[in-house]
Amino acid sequence: MTYLLLTLVFLVIAVAAAAVALRVAARRTPTTADERPAPWRALVLAAVALFVLTAVFDNVMIASGLFAYSDAHISGLRVGLAPVEDFAYPLAGVILLPALWTLFGSRRAR
């Protein structure tokens, strides 16, 4: 199994959970789109921060020899020394965590 295929599994799960969360949130809050808060700015900032941290720390860990990737299992595209597939996990987190919060978080009025 390639690393890309493995990361796609996590991304599909995250996107599916986000789709369910959006439907649940739409049913819970009978408001118009103009009245709903738009969390997009916070999500984009979180994604940028996680991508930068992933790039820095993956490159440091790979350069120091803590781990290595077999070229047979990655796409070959890299950000520095880090394969681009490593960036799927922060993306999945940015998608999945707000979805889980929506589905299982506080039921208080927000």
Q: Break the chain into its structural domains and give their ranges.
A: 3-30+39-104
Q: Evaluate if residue 104 carries a pLDDT over 60.
A: yes
**Beta carbons of 93 and 99 less than 8 angstroms apart:** no
Assign 68 to helix, strand or coil: coil
Q: Evaluate if residue 30 carries a pLDDT over 70.
A: no
Predicted structure pTM score: 0.79
Q: What element of type H or E holds 82? A: strand 82-83
Share of the chain above pLDDT 90, in %: 70
Average pLDDT score, the chain: 89
**Residue 80: which of 56, 45, 104, 102 has the closest Cα?**
56
Q: Residue 69 class from Cβ within 10 Å (0-12 exposed, 13-18 middle, 19+ buried)?
A: middle
**Beta carbons of 14 and 43 less than 8 angstroms apart:** no
Q: What is the pLDDT of residues 43-91, one digit of tens each?
A: 999 999 999 999 999 999 999 999 999 999 999 999 999 999 999 999 9
